[in-house]
Chain A
Amino acid sequence: MNAEQKRAWLAVGSMVAVAIAYFVMLPFLGPRASLSAFALFGVNGIAPLIGRKEHLDERDRSIVRLATGIGAMCSYLGFYAATMGVWIVVFAVQRERSVSVHVFPTMAIVAGMVPLILGRAIVVLVLYGRHTEASDV
């Protein structure tokens, strides 16, 4: 397993930890406060420290490039879908005149950052898995 795969597993693992923490806190804190479980996703900040000195060859770089592009696409789609969804909920369903200032940071992190990191990680794991099935000497 190379550094990119380790970083990807860190992202997937931290997302699982977020999901567990969210559902554990939900009965006690309610749906809004339980979103604080996403703080655990911040552990991905240490990802660049994993395998810093490891050499990436041209195939690794092409996988990372593709994964980052797809991650960015997921982020773009997630962020815009979520922000437009908020407009519908707030203006059409709740008939409010303004969007709460607390909504935007949540949207930026949950619908923007998480799809970027998680989408990238999943693509990395899928591509490495697909390319290294036939392992022999």
Chain B
Amino acid sequence: MSEVSNCVRRLRFDHDEMTQEELAKRVGVTRQTIIAIESGKYTPSLGLALRLAREFNRPIAEIFKLEEAE
């Protein structure tokens, strides 16, 4: 089984301590969705992942990683 982990929270703080609300507005989702992504409870669609990558100016693979669990 594999799970997707991410560093959205860290990147948000690296970008002038951007708030969840601000990031949510920029990528076109609700703040609740950002909370769910950061806590690993929701895996975003490819489109939203690409928008996040564009927002943080990082490659998508740097933000989202596949964690292989046994």
Contact = CB atoms under 8 A, between A and B. Distances in A.
Contacts, number: 42
A131 B41 contact: yes
A134 interface: yes
B20 interface: yes
A60 B39 CA distance: 16
A131 B32 CA distance: 8
A131 B30 contact: no
A58 B44 contact: yes
A80 B44 CA distance: 37
Contact of B41 (A58, A130, A137): A130
Interface in A91-136: 128, 130-136
Given A131-B41, A136-B35, A60 B30 contact: yes
Q: Chain B: interface residue count, which band? A: 10 to 19
B33 interface: yes
22 contacts: A2-B32, A55-B30, A57-B29, A57-B33, A58-B33, A58-B45, A58-B47, A59-B36, A59-B44, A60-B30, A60-B33, A130-B41, A131-B35, A131-B36, A131-B41, A131-B42, A132-B32, A132-B36, A135-B35, A136-B20, A137-B19, A137-B21
Interface residues of A, number: 15
Interface of A: 2, 55, 57-60, 128, 130-137
Contacts of A55: 30
B48 interface: yes
Contacts of A135: 35
A3 to B, nearest CB: 11
A61 B35 CA distance: 16
